[in-house]
Chains A and B, each alone.
Chain A
Amino acid sequence: MSEPLRGIVVSHAAVAQSLVAAVAAIAGVEDALVPVSNEGCDGRALADRLTAAIGGKPAVLFVDLPGGSCLTGAARYARGKPDLAVVTGVNLAMLLDFVFHRDVAPAEAAKRAAEAGARAIRTPAA
């Protein structure tokens, strides 16, 4: 793959923006992720924002909730496009893993990211 994958973080309100800022602060990687908010969007407007963020390149779409307008918009957009993959339940651990593992196909990157995100959800003993 000539160019590393891009991650598009799709969220309600400013969650995406904050997650992208946090990844940059922790990992120092600033060119791997693009935030997209659904604020004020219907499905068409969200698709326009996704088009601008993706820029016609292979990408993984990280969506905040497993349901809702961000997911329906992202899943519709990615449907039938092998250069795009969708993951829901985005968290910081997932994105931090992703930014260092972007030289693979979108589906493989999405699977790895989902596993990394799931591993981060724990209940430490008090």
Chain B
Amino acid sequence: MSIALYRVDDRLIHGQVVVGWGQPLDAGFIVLVDDEVRASEWEQDLYRMGVPAHIEVVFASVEEARRRLSEWNTDPRPGILLAGDIDTIAAIAGDGGSLIRQLNIGGVHHRAGRSERLRYVYLTDAEANKLRQLAARGIEITAQDVPTARAVPLEEFV
């Protein structure tokens, strides 16, 4: 089944991911890509608390994610890959051809320099440009916080 959802969400593992997406996708594993969380057992324990025992959680650095992406894509279980920001997912996608065909923007919240694009998506101009570049490489990008909401195409929010 491989990775069924590539998602950018600055909350990483939380209710919308585990329940909102995890249930309908029948997720068997979640890959959380974040260099800081990868280096902290305490942070990892915190994120594991919100995940049912039958879902495996893999903590990966950006470098590990790039190296293991093809491995996760051959996993028979449906998986979810989470990145906390646009830069991280762009780094995972790399410069050449990418295994990522679709990208979900699930939550990028307000911070200095960002402007509101959707209720749950705030981007700097640089982040918006980076998404356009990913789209130009053939990655279908939509914003959608939960599966029951409309998937908003990239051109409607950048």
Among B45-53, B94-102, B148-156, the stretch in contact with A: B45-53
**Taking A40-B119, A40-B120, A42-B10 as contacts, is the C-beta distance between A68 and B110 under 8 angstroms?**
no
The contact string, 1 if C-beta is below 8 Å from chain B, for chain A 1-20, is 00000000000100000000
Q: How far is the CB of A26 from chain B (nearest CB, A)?
A: 27
**Taking A42-B10, A43-B10, A43-B11 as contacts, is the C-beta distance between A68 and B50 under 8 angstroms?**
yes
> With an 8 A cutoff between CB atoms, is B132 at the interface?
no
The contact string, 1 if C-beta is below 8 Å from chain B, for chain A 40-69, is 111111000000000000000000011111
Q: How far is the CB of B120 from chain A (nearest CB, A)?
A: 7
Q: When chains A and B are docked, how far (Å) is the Cα of A63 from the Cα of B109? A: 21
* Interface SS, B side: loop
**Taking A40-B110, A40-B119, A45-B110 as contacts, is the C-beta distance between A66 and B11 under 8 angstroms?**
no
| A71: B residues at CB distance < 8 A | 46, 49-50
Q: When chains A and B are docked, how far (Å) is the Cα of A79 from the Cα of B40? A: 13
Q: How far is the CB of A14 from chain B (nearest CB, A)?
A: 15
Q: How far is the CB of B14 from chain A (nearest CB, A)?
A: 4
From A40, A72, A88, B109 is in contact (CB under 8 Å) with: A40
The contact string, 1 if C-beta is below 8 Å from chain A, for chain B 83-125, is 0000000000000000000000001111100000001100000
Q: How far is the CB of B17 from chain A (nearest CB, A)?
A: 9
> With an 8 A cutoff between CB atoms, is B138 at the interface?
no
Q: Is the CB of A69 within 8 A of B11?
A: yes
The contact string, 1 if C-beta is below 8 Å from chain A, for chain B 19-42, is 000000000000000000000001
Q: Which 5 A-B pairs have the closest CB atoms?
A: A67-B50, A42-B109, A69-B11, A69-B14, A68-B14
